[in-house]
C-alpha cells in the first residue's frame, strides 16, 4: 500500500470551481517513472546528483493528484511541504535520502 500523508493548506486555493483546503500526498512508485536525474563526479571524484527543479514540481503535483497549475497557486509554505515530500521520496529511492 502506498504511503499517504494529509496536509492541510495554510492558505486555501481556488482552482476553477473547487476550493482546495487540504491535499493527500501519496508516495507511489509510478510517480517516479518520468523523473530525470543526472549523476556526475568532479575532479576529486566527489559524486553529485543534478536535479532539475521542474522535476520536483512535476513529481509534487503527481503526488498530490492535481495539475502543476494548482501547486503553483499554493502559498509558499504549502509549496515547500509538497516539494520537500517529493524530494525525500525521490532521493529515498536513490538510496541517499532519509529512511522513514
pLDDT digit string, tens, across residues 46-83:
777 777 788 899 999 999 999 999 999 999 999 999 99
Three cell numbers at 4? 499517504
Three cell numbers at 36? 530525470
Whether 27 and 2 have beta carbons less than 8 Å apart is answered as yes
Tens digit of each residue's pLDDT (9 = 90 or more) over 2-54: 799 999 999 999 999 999 999 999 999 888 887 766 677 778 877 777 777 88
Neighbouring residues of 75: CB distance < 8 A, sequence distance ≥ 6? 9, 10, 11
Q: What is the pTM of this model?
A: 0.81
Closest CA to 82 of 20, 23, 34: 23
Whether 25 and 44 have beta carbons less than 8 Å apart is answered as no
Amino acid at each position: 500500500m502506498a504511503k499517504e500523508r494529509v496536509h492541510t493548506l495554510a492558505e486555501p486555493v481556488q482552482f476553477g470551481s473547487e476550493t482546495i483546503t487540504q491535499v493527500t500526498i501519496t508516495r507511489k512508485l509510478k510517480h517516479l517513472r518520468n523523473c530525470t536525474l543526472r549523476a556526475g563526479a568532479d575532479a576529486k571524484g566527489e559524486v553529485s546528483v543534478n536535479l532539475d527543479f521542474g522535476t520536483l514540481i512535476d513529481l509534487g503535483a503527481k503526488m498530490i493528484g492535481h495539475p502543476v497549475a494548482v501547486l503553483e497557486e499554493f502559498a509558499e509554505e504549502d509549496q515547500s511541504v509538497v516539494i520537500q515530500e517529493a524530494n525525500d521520496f525521490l532521493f529515498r529511492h536513490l538510496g541517499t535520502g532519509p529512511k522513514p
